[in-house]
A and B are shown apart, each in its own frame.
Chain A
Amino acid sequence: MQPFRKHTGIVVPLDKVNVDTDQIIPKQFLKRIERTGFGRFLFYDWRFSGDGKESGTKTGDFVLDAPRYAGASILVAGKNFGCGSSREHAVWALADFGFRVVIASSFADIFANNSLKNGLLTVRLSDEQVAEIIRRSKQIANYRLSVDLEALRLDDGQGFEAKFTMDEFSRHCLLNGLDDIGLTLQHEAEIAAYEAKHPVPSEMEIDMKTILAR
């Protein structure tokens, strides 16, 4: 996983609450079996006209496509960002598009977990702070924020700064880009001991084997 320490980038405001993962990446793109290349389908129904197939035409009137936000890598949005479906494709699409940070006053649990596994930093701030960043990103040309995960703070160099929190373990994994499957496997002895005490129920084992055999 790509580590996250510090990042400075252009901020794009998505001034909406409850942005669900169906909007971030519509279902017609979930049939792909790859993990890459989802960026061009990001917010597809809001950005493209057409029948929802891959060949739609960009309408140009969605905020992400405004020239002033070209190259943005920090997304700021309203509360409950990433609600709905568990599709990790939403995070893959954001990351593939070039986003490193999403700022909101709250995130859906599964979305936040998925972000963590992909080096996408989710920053929770108060409603007032989010509103202020949205206001500045709309008013100030080329508005940038610097986000520092080591110091757990962000600032725009123009008078706005904020502290944020993150649980220590998640922060540690992100800072170091750790493969957490590797970390779990360090507990092999404990897992094996647990499994010895809790074997697969015999009905399940016998019958599942018949399904495997057919």
Chain B
Amino acid sequence: MDRQWAKLESMPRTLFEKIWDAHVVAAPTGQSALLYIDLHLVHEVTSPQAFDGLRANGRRVRQPLRTVATVDHNIPTTPRGLPIADAIAAKQIEALQNNCREFGVPLFDMDSAEQGIVHVIGPELGITLPGMTIVCGDSHTSTHGAFGSLAFGIGTSEVEHVLATQCLPQNKPKTMQILVRGNLAEGVTAKDLALGIIGRIGTDGATGYVIEYAGDAVRALSMEGRMTLCNMSIEAGARAGLIAPDETTFAYVDGRRFAPKGKDWEEALASWRTLASDAGAQFDRVIQIDAAALAPFVTWGTNPGMVVAVNARVPELTSFAQEGDRRAAEQALAYMGLEPGMPIENIAVDRVFIGSCTNSRIEDLRSAARVAKGQHVSPKVRAMVVPGSQAIKHAAEKEGLHRIFLDAGFEWRESGCSMCLGMNPDILQPGERCASTSNRNFEGRQGRGGRTHLVSPMMAAAAAIAGHFTDIRNWQFR
């Protein structure tokens, strides 16, 4: 028995397996493994029914201090002093406030300086740390994998499960390594890398897998870029996406409000340095990507896998081998109001949205501002910038980014999920076409009948100014 154990211990393991093994509380025969959850992020939309479930069964929140709540999905992005006009949204926010008070859960409420999109504030406050298991009732929880944590979205029943037990029964997913060789060209961002990967493997290409992103191009990404990449893992169907922590990670975490300090920091650092896949660790699937072959991408259809380079054309229907995919493409083009073979750069936009848990961080805003500087939004376009958090909003204002945006004719708004999913008043009108830095171009996602094209922040800013998609690699920066 001991010898067998020793053998297991010495077997090379992937980063995912190391985190998984460290969090198995129990592995009952014939049942799923019981995984301990280090951090549970909560927001107003997917939690009220879970708290009701606790009340109905006389249960408490087992670890209120491993639970952190904020409001992001349905809140308006107009000035914070104004009342919420939507009575149902206001009631949902009030429910979260009451639940947090009743169960002793820390809440970063609407008027707090820490408020922001749940996947933005976790990292920025140093709550998200390497090696953790993190869940949230939101599919984009995969964002936190950028820190080398195992982070995944769950449904409301599972939210209740974690509130009550701080654990989740889980079947072990398979592992996939996405190895990105070479370097991204100027103007090609983490968003384009994510879209390029999804375009290649499809929106179900990673279903059942946890992805580990590796390779030079991934190592070269900032934490903001890594978060963008991991954020979009779910759009390939992955359970989670993660990146081994390194000096870039540690430098980002160091000194953040909730991060370990002093001796605790030294200890944490020593343990985080072991968080890498061992040489010889086996992945169930390996995919290689040539970074240099990637371009700025624009989606043309109604899922993130329907994507081409900005200098390409809307695909011909004959290019789809499978009948189901061809029909889906046909329906998507009808919904999007596009013709096969049309150059992407000829597509005019009505709206531009820069924001969301994918692309609303300071680096995203800096890159968009660099494009917008000294320019003006096309008179036919309404463009919004929605910072991911109050902290980002203030940081951007300190750097003067808001002035660049406002002078160029962009709206500068309060933080929240906003037009990524249009649960608040920020929505597209039927038929409106939007260049969006968000993560989903599903039918009606940004408003019924709205047409969403996913792009990077630079590409979105350029589209706002040009009035149509344009290749950022040819942009004349001012």
Contacts and interface: CB of A to CB of B under 8 A. Distances in A.
A180 B153 CA distance: 18
A194 B32 CA distance: 17
A196 to B, nearest CB: 12
Contacts of A31: 45, 74, 86, 88-89, 91-92, 423
A1 B205 CA distance: 32
Interface of B: 25-26, 28, 30-32, 34, 36, 38, 45-46, 48-49, 52, 57, 59, 63-66, 68, 73-74, 86, 88-89, 91-92, 95, 104, 106-108, 127, 137-139, 153-158, 160-161, 164-167, 169, 171, 173, 203-204, 207-208, 237, 239, 257-261, 264, 303, 324-325, 327-328, 331, 421-423, 440, 442-445, 447-448
For the complex of A and B, 8 pairs with smallest distance between CB atoms: A117-B157, A88-B155, A114-B155, A33-B48, A80-B204, A86-B153, A88-B156, A52-B448
Interface string A201-214: 11111011101100
B49 A34 contact: yes
A165 interface: no
Nearest to B447: A52
A78 B303 CA distance: 15
Nearest to B104: A212
A118 B156 CA distance: 11
26 contacts: A18-B203, A18-B303, A27-B421, A31-B74, A31-B423, A33-B92, A35-B52, A52-B447, A83-B204, A83-B237, A85-B421, A109-B173, A109-B207, A109-B239, A117-B155, A168-B30, A169-B169, A172-B30, A181-B164, A183-B169, A184-B161, A184-B169, A187-B25, A201-B260, A203-B259, A208-B68
Nearest to A23: B443
A200 B95 contact: no
A152 to B, nearest CB: 16
Contacts of B107: 211
Contacts, number: 202
A33 B91 contact: yes
Given A108-B207, A169-B31, A33 B448 contact: no
A30 interface: yes
A43 B365 CA distance: 35
A136 interface: no
Given A18-B204, A212-B106, A78 B324 contact: yes
Contacts of B328: 16-18
A23 B335 CA distance: 13
A207 to B, nearest CB: 6
Contact of B166 (A32, A91, A167, A195): A195
A201 B264 contact: yes
A113 B155 contact: yes
Given A18-B203, A204-B258, 10 more contacts: A20-B303, A31-B423, A88-B46, A107-B207, A117-B158, A118-B157, A167-B32, A181-B57, A187-B167, A201-B258
A117 B156 CA distance: 9
A191 B165 CA distance: 8
A23 B441 CA distance: 12
Contacts of B165: 181, 184-185, 191
Given A33-B48, A45-B443, A113 B154 contact: yes
> Which of A18, A84, A168 is most buried by chain B, counting CB atoms within 10 A of its CB?
A18
Contact of B208 (A35, A109, A209): A109
B157 A202 contact: no
Contact of B423 (A28, A80, A114, A205): A28
Residue among A16, A27, A80, A207 with max Cβ neighbours from chain B (10 Å) = A27
Contacts of B36: 191, 194-195, 198
Contact of B440 (A22, A181, A183): A22
A207 B45 CA distance: 25
Nearest to B440: A84
A181 B154 contact: no
Interface residues of A, number: 65
Contact of B34 (A91, A187, A208): A187
B155 A86 contact: yes
B46 A169 contact: no
B448 A26 contact: yes
B26 A187 contact: yes
A106 interface: yes
A205 B260 contact: no
Contact of A22 (B59, B64, B160, B445): B445
A110 B207 CA distance: 10
B352 to A, nearest CB: 20
B63 A203 contact: no
A183 B127 CA distance: 29
Contacts of A167: 32, 171
Contacts of A194: 25, 36
A27 to B, nearest CB: 5
B264 A88 contact: no
Contact of B32 (A33, A85, A169, A185): A169
Contact of A51 (B68, B324, B448): B448
A62 B324 CA distance: 19
B169 A180 contact: yes
Interface in A144-202: 167-170, 172, 180-181, 183-185, 187, 190-191, 194-195, 198, 200-202
Contacts of A106: 204, 207
Contacts of A18: 203-204, 303, 328
Contacts of B169: 169, 180, 183-184
